[in-house]
């Protein structure tokens, strides 16, 4: 199969092909972290730092029960679990927990469903991640995807999320901000919303109070200190 440009239909060769292969897609899951705190997204997805707390552990357990590929129909709605998604336009890729295919007027409309621990939040991180899945599905299937659903483990409620112009714009802005971070390979400063740091599993590693020092520099200094302490 010939690789084709993300901008057009011409087959790619040589340097152009290499450029395309070098465009490592942004993980869809990074968008929710970026809405919460762009620095958190960079620490997890760029610096590969991860620290688990009770909240993240519960989320992981919830996804372990939903991340099994497969398909079936429920009350006439075709459902597919653990669906790989990608958008060349936004250079994003990931996996949807569940995609339902709602049939109407002879057309199947994809409807992404994302499972979350806890309950609906004041910020829009979950909605942005879901909307990004919708944008991928639109590009993959060539049909409008007007909405998706978030299912929350704590409330056992399903919330329908319309992909309106405001949410689409926020999703595209977040993806652009993430692309800029990935391109620059630079971890941004801490979020000014200090209350978010209290629930952040990376607070110990990030040390937002030492904001002037990037996390990489702080970790290097810590390693230097440990090595100095271990020296005879």
Which residues of the chain form contacts with ligand SF4 (CB under 6 A)? Answer: 37, 39-40, 43, 190-191, 196-197, 200, 202-203, 206, 208
C-beta closer to ligand SF4: residue 163 or 182? 182
**Measured from the CB of residue 220, what is the shortest distance to ligand SF4 in angstroms?**
18
CB 66 within 8 Å of CB 52? no
Single out the residue of 177, 5, 174 nearest to residue 89, CA to CA.
5
CA–CA distance, 32 with 132 (Å, rounded to integer): 10
CA 187, 117, 166: angle at the middle one, nearest 5? Answer: 60
Q: Are strands 107-116 and 157-162 parallel, antiparallel or unpaired?
A: unpaired
Q: How far is the CB of 116 from ligand SF4 (least distance, A)?
A: 18
CA 21/CA 140 separation, integer angstroms: 19
CB 14, min distance to ligand SF4, A? 40
For ligand SF4, give the closer residue by CB, 117 or 196: 196
Least distance (Å) from ligand SF4 to the CB of residue 58? 18
* d(C-alpha 97, C-alpha 227), whole Å: 43
- Shortest CB 208 distance to ligand SF4, Å: 4
In terms of Cβ atoms closer than 10 Å to its own Cβ (0-12, 13-18, 19+), residue 34 is: buried
Considering the complex, state which of residue 196 and residue 216 has its C-beta at the smaller distance from ligand SF4.
196
Scanning the structure block, which residue is given the tokens 């990489």? Answer: 216
**Complex with ligand SF4: residue 103 or 193, whichever CB lies closer:** 193
């Amino acid at each position: 199969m010939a690789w084709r440009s993300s901008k057009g239909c011409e087959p790619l060769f040589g340097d152009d092909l290499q450029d395309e292969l070098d465009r490592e897609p942004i993980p869809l899951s990074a968008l929710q972290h970026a809405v919460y705190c762009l620095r958190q997204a960079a620490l997890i997805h760029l610096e590969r730092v991860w620290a688990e707390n009770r909240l993240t552990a519960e989320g992981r357990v919830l996804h372990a029960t939903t991340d099994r590929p497969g398909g079936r129909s429920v009350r006439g709605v075709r459902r597919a679990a653990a669906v790989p998604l990608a958008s060349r336009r936004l250079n994003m890729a990931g996996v949807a927990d569940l995609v339902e295919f709602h049939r109407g007027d002879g057309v199947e409309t994809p409807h992404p469903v994302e499972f979350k621990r806890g309950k609906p939040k004041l910020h829009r991180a979950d909605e942005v991640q879901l909307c990004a899945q919708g944008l991928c599905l639109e590009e993959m299937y060539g049909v409008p995807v007007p909405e998706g659903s978030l299912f929350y483990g704590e409330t056992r409620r399903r919330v329908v999320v319309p992909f309106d112009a405001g949410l689409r714009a926020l999703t595209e802005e977040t993806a652009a901000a993430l692309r800029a971070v990935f391109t620059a390979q630079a971890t941004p400063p801490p979020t000014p919303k200090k209350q978010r740091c209290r629930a952040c599993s990376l607070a110990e590693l990030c040390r937002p109070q030492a904001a002037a020092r990037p996390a990489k520099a702080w970790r290097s200094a810590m390693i230097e200190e440990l090595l100095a302490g271990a020296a005879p």
